[in-house]
Amino acid sequence: MELKRVVVTGLGVLSPIGNNISEYWDGLKNGKSGCAPITYFDTEKFKTKFACEVKNYDPLDHFDRKEARKLDRFAQYALVASDEAILDANINLDEVDKFRVGVIWGAGIGGLETFQDEVLNYAKGDGTPRFNPFFIPKMIADIAPGNISIKHGFMGPNYTTVSACASSANAIIDAFNYIRLGLCDIIVTGGSEAAVTQAGMGGFNAMHALSTLNESPETASRPFDATRDGFVLGEGGGALILEEYEHAKKRGAKIYAEVAGGGMSSDAYHMTAPHPDGIGVERVMINCLKDAGMSPDEVDAINTHGTSTPLGDVAELKAISKVFGEHAHDININSTKSMTGHLLGAAGAIEAIASILAMKYSLVPPTINHTTVDENIDPSLNLTLNKAQEKEINVAMSNTFGFGGHNACILFKKFAE
């Protein structure tokens, strides 16, 4: 069968460096760090006392008090980001066939704060099971797309993808496939996460996964730097409106980019560590290029997973060198996690948005906080260090990988009639 073309017609974001698309792009291009001491709880006894929180966010700016109490922060972030994307796409909700509009959302954890708080409250009691009646619907990861569909009446496919930090990239790929197979006209996709909690920080600290650079949090997320010591936990949400091209054209929609292809693979190696030779990462990029019908030398920019972990950064760059060969030296490689921190299940969404905006503005956001060369990294690779670089981008790749060996890769290309 002939596959449909899929385009991006709307974007929305709530991030540690900006609460809408305009603010987010300003933060990216200017190399703004979203990392600061945690404000949500007392961190005195925690190894890591900082994170990339969403700033200046008040749920009552978006929800009435009663509604806000029914929503975990991760679901609030999903609604805020998707509302911006729907508005940005200028979708007339009275004219679209809502049976052909879906919501496919990514979340690696879901309502962690809700789960944590309910268990803590129970533990403080006398053993009588007193739980909030909204405990379960606030906690479950699939409530985010459920709430988006309920708010707007979208009655197409509706579910959450859960693949750790690859969750929202998997959601975007699923949305892409539904539309190109002709099963939907529009899908609201992306992801959200809100794991900056006692349980989230404590759990990742127990794994020795987080940076502990408490004396200089704004420089703690330092992908590719020899002194990197772990990732910085972030939170927020990102939303994309994917739409079948002819449907978008008919309604006169603006088009940011075209989705060219998506790839997935598994490391099949370790619960949390990447394969040291980047075999799974190598395969996911090959799969993505094959799906798009593109050759490696067509790629102009890669927003890496680049978490700032000692093993992960090296493995990913090794894989890029293998897949792209000599052309790897002509690609602008960067990690926007150096600014946003790691949004876990929402990472793929906000990083896909960063790739699309980089293409739109012909500017590659920097990998900030780099001071010390890592001898294990090829010095001839252009890692877009510390300062944004102007570049005409026709094809951009976005990589996301998750605990459990889940790998996802998306290719976007500049739209042409």
Active site residue 305: yes
CA–CA gap between residue 324 and residue 251 (Å, rounded): 39
Q: Are 263 and 288 in contact (CB under 8 A)?
A: yes
Q: Are 112 and 194 in contact (CB under 8 A)?
A: yes
Of the listed 152, 247, 275, 342, which one is catalytic? 342
DSSP helix/strand/coil, 194: coil
Cα dihedral: 406, 240, 242, 7 (round 10)? -100
Local structure of residue 269 (DSSP, 8 states): S
CA–CA gap between residue 384 and residue 399 (Å, rounded): 16
Instruction: Sort residue 304 into left (φ over 0), alpha (ψ -120 to 50) or beta.
Output: beta
Of the listed 165, 184, 288, 409, which one is catalytic? 165
Q: Give the number of other CB atoms < 10 A from CB of residue 82.
A: 31
Nearest-CA neighbor of 190 among 347, 310, 38, 56?
A: 347
Of the listed 152, 247, 275, 305, which one is catalytic? 305
Active site residue 165: yes
Q: What is the 3-state secondary structure of 7-71?
A: EEEEEEEEECCECCHHHHHHHHHCCCCCCEECCCCCCCCCCCCEEECCCCCCHHHCCCHHHHHCC
What single-letter amino acid sits at 381? L
Active site residue 152: no
Residues with a catalytic annotation lie at 165, 305, 342
